[in-house]
Homo-oligomer: A and B are copies of this chain.
Amino acid sequence: MIDWYIIDLIGTCVFAISGALSALNKKMYHDLFGIFFVGFLTAVGGGTLRDILIGAHPIAWIRDPNYLLVIIGSVSVAVLGRKWWLGTLRRPLLVFDTLGIGLYTILGMQKALNFDVNNWAAMVLGLISAIFGGVIRDTLVNDLPLIFDRQIYATACLAGALLYLIGRSVALDPMVNFTISASLITLIRLLAIRNGWALPRIK
């Protein structure tokens, strides 16, 4: 059996590292505080916005100290090993990020569906959980947010979210449904990166 809490902390770790590396890479944030700040917002941004929108208090990182401890540890690891990470580990990190958006989209939907939320809004809230941290990260380091890149990104999340809703409506076992839907997101995203898949351009 999967422990959702551990999955959530692993996602927090992965997103915190991805935020810290973006900050280190762009040389916009020269001191420790700035790097922690970007790592923190990348890690908690999506879930926090989701919880504010559905009114789910207390928010996880505010109630439970483990989230902030994981972020402090992850950013420290990113800073201490920064030469190694930025040299050879970019590809693994992209894979982690891709795993992360798959897990977070469906985790975010599951949480939202416990509240008074319609199915369309649940998909939007799952998407927000997965991508909003990255949008903050990219905006803070002055990159065009990944979701506006033409390559399939948010669309992969929405496809997996739709599949999850269909599985839920036919009473598929939650664990099976979770695994299939999250895997679909990660698979579509990896194929999109490899093959350069993009939505049609609108002229």
Q: Which residues of A contact B (CB under 8 A)?
A: 24, 28-35, 37, 40, 48, 52-55, 57-59, 61-65, 68-69, 79, 82, 115-121, 124-125, 147-148, 150, 154-155, 198-202
Chain B residue with the shortest CB-CB distance to A118? B65
Give the number of times this chain occurs in the complex, counting copies. 3
Chain B residue with the shortest CB-CB distance to A49? B52
A117 CA to B116 CA, complexed, in Å:
25
Q: When the two chains form their complex, are residues B30 and A202 in contact, meaning their CB atoms are under 8 A apart?
A: yes
Chain B neighbourhood of A125, CB < 8 A: 62
Chain B neighbourhood of A198, CB < 8 A: 31
Q: When the two chains form their complex, are residues A147 and B33 in contact, meaning their CB atoms are under 8 A apart?
A: yes
Q: A121-B65, A150-B30 are in contact. Are A202 and B79 (CB under 8 A)?
A: yes
Chain B neighbourhood of A33, CB < 8 A: 147, 154-155, 199
Chain B neighbourhood of A124, CB < 8 A: 40, 68
Residue from A29, A31, A57, A147 with most neighbouring chain B CB atoms (10 Å): A31
- Could you tell me the distance in whole angstroms from the C-beta of A74 to the nearest C-beta in chain B? 14
